[in-house]
Structure 1
Amino acid sequence: MKTSWIMPIAVALLAALGVAAIGGTITDLGPWYESLAKPDWTPPRPVFPIAWTLIFMLAAVSGVTAWSAAPKARDADTVIGLFSLNGFLNITWSLIFFHLQRPDWAFYELLLLWLSILALIVYCGRLSKLSAALLLPYLVWVTIAGALNWEVVRLNAPFG
């Protein structure tokens, strides 16, 4: 591995770990969450940290891949900006759902998160097909999370 790759990989991994750590800190699976009615098809609790770890690792590799394939500094800056926006939306969903205890609002925020993943796939795909492909599990997982979020709203509304 070239030494020029070490810094971008380290930064991407630290950013992914930061988003995961903040989201994990906000996520409270205590009495309020346990009291919510959830659909029968809710994945078992251990699946979530495994899935998110894999997704964040793939996203970090995707980001570095797209960033390194960018032909101009402006394109590389756009990659960083899109990933930053996505990280912000990811954390915000956890904040709204768990801290504010508003799954109804969180569902609409999740739509923005989903669109940000789609934007990443489209933009990064122009720079690297591999980068876009690495983000597909993220889109699938957030689609499942969206359906689960919607069912939690449907089964437990109203909130607030």
Structure 2
Amino acid sequence: MTFFIFLLACAAAATTGVMFKPGPWYEALTKPSFTPPNWAFPVAWTIIYLLLAWAGYRLSLIPGSQTVLALWAAQIALNTLWTPVFFGAHQVLAALVILAVLWVVVAVMVVLALQLDVVTGLILFPYLAWLCVALALNCSILMKNRL
């Protein structure tokens, strides 16, 4: 049952991608050469959200994981916030700030999770890697488009 609570939180975050689609505004932006193809985003995020739910569940079973679980809650809130700010409000700088804070939260979460349970820390690592790509992409879009 606990896994499904984490999965529900991830699904709620994912709904922002359905509500605030990239659309013509995003397509018109000048993007860097390393921009993943459009199909890669839903694939990557589906995998990441499943891994996040699994990691959250595993953390909930570990005594002393309250701090990491608080970081899990913070990251899902920040994750949920980024899409409407970037795609909905077209506030690329604000989205970059959110993403930078999200990256720090997830980096700390990964380090603390590794200390509690190596497997859980490794489950979270692809998320951190994808956030590195997202941060570079968001920053590049900001610079290339003078937004």
Q: Quick check: TM above 0.5?
A: yes
Give the aligned partner of residue 96 of structure 1.
85
Could you give the per-residue CA deviations for residues 19-72 of structure 1, whole angstroms, max 9, x where no partner exists? 112x21343221211111111221110000000000111111111112212x2x
| Secondary structure in structure 2 of the residue aligned to 1:41 | coil
1:106 aligns with 2:95: yes
Within the alignment, does 1:65 sit opposite 2:54 as a pair?
Answer: no
Per-residue CA deviation, residues 118-150 of structure 1 (Å, 9 max, x unaligned), is: 121122222211111001100000100111111
Unaligned runs of 5+ in 2: none
State the TM-score, normalized to the length of structure 1: 0.85
CA distance in 2: counterparts of 1:29 and 1:13, whole angstroms:
24
Partner residue of 1:3? none
What's the % identity of the aligned pairs? 35
Letter in 2 for 1:86: Q
Q: Which has the larger radius of gyration?
A: 1
Distance 1:135 1:98 in 2: 25
Q: Distance in 2 between matches of 1:42 and 1:92?
A: 21
Q: How many residues align?
A: 147
| Residue 151 of structure 1: aligned partner | 140
Q: Distance in 2 between matches of 1:16 and 1:52?
A: 10
Match in the other structure for 2:28 = 35
TM-score by length of 2: 0.93
Structure 1 residue runs without a partner (length 5+): 1-6
Does structure 2 conserve the Cα–Cα contact (< 8 Å) formed by 1:107 and 1:149?
yes
> Contact conserved, 2:114 with 2:120, CA < 8 A, in 1?
yes
